[in-house]
Amino acid sequence: MSDKSVALAITGASGALYAVRTLAELLSRGLNVELVVSDYGRRLLRDELGDEATLDKIVPYLSAKYGAAVAEGSLVVHSNRDLGATIASGSHQCAAMAIVPCSMKTLAGIAHGLSRNLVERAADVMLKERRRLVIVPRETPMSLPALRNMVLCAEAGAMIVPAMPAFYQQPRSLDDLADFMAGKILSALGFEHTLYPHWTGKVESDRSSASE
């Protein structure tokens, strides 16, 4: 996959920390990441992570938080209004796409093939080209339309990876929860990773008590 790019979309659902953790991990692997952020995605970056994490400052933010390895990759930022961007075409070699987090509005647009903006169009390209599309929806509780839209996307070939971190990894911080979700997203995109310890059959506390 190294000669190809990976698309990442950030939309206006809660969970900006998952998005930046995923972006940092993709860049640290030396990948070319094609990023598109909806208007409300931009707002969520600022509202949840602060002024230093706005889109225009995202690379220095990632370097400061996740380390200099993010410079190994390359980042192209597309406008969500640019339906002529590379990732709007199936002829462009974009191997996979993740939408982190995915709002119920964008989910609906993908489920119904609306292609109203670049996020929805690029997702539709992934589906029609039979490439990996990873959707990370975030809402609670979920309406029946949202549930049905997830089924439609799954039937069309997308992988639905809800923003539901687990607790058996004994997380100690929000970053631990973000690592877990980013790891799940990386796995769904087809990458191996060490973002969380793989399940061994025992939780960490069991392991320590077993060795006592």
Ligand X SMILES: Cc1cc2nc3c(=O)[nH]c(=O)nc-3n(C[C@H](O)[C@H](O)[C@H](O)COP(=O)(O)O)c2cc1C
The residues that touch ligand X, with contacts defined as CB under 6 A, are 11-14, 38, 40-41, 43, 47, 103-106, 138-139
Quick one: 41 or 165, whose CB is closer to ligand X? 41
Q: Least distance to ligand X from the beta carbon of 12, Å?
A: 3
Q: Least distance to ligand X from the beta carbon of 72, Å?
A: 29
For the chain, the first-to-last Cα distance in angstroms comes to 45
Q: Least distance to ligand X from the beta carbon of 167, Å?
A: 20
Residue in the shown chain whose Cβ atom is closest to ligand X: 12
Q: Least distance to ligand X from the beta carbon of 138, Å?
A: 4
| CA 195-201-205 angle, 5° bins | 75
Quick one: 45 or 159, whose CB is closer to ligand X? 45
**Using CA atoms in the order 1, 184, 182, 5, what is the torsion angle rounded to 10 degrees?**
20
Q: With the C-alpha atoms ordered 142, 107, 41, 137, is the resulting torsion angle positive or negative? A: positive
Quick one: 45 or 195, whose CB is closer to ligand X? 45
Q: Least distance to ligand X from the beta carbon of 38, Å?
A: 3
Quick one: 69 or 83, whose CB is closer to ligand X? 83
Please say whether the beta carbons of 132 and 146 come within 8 A. Answer: no
Query: How many CA atoms, within 13 angstroms, populate the side-chain half-sphere of residue 67?
Result: 6
Q: Which residue has the tokens 């690379």?
A: 59
Burial class (CB in 10 A: 0-12, 13-18, 19+), 84: exposed
Quick one: 5 or 38, whose CB is closer to ligand X? 38
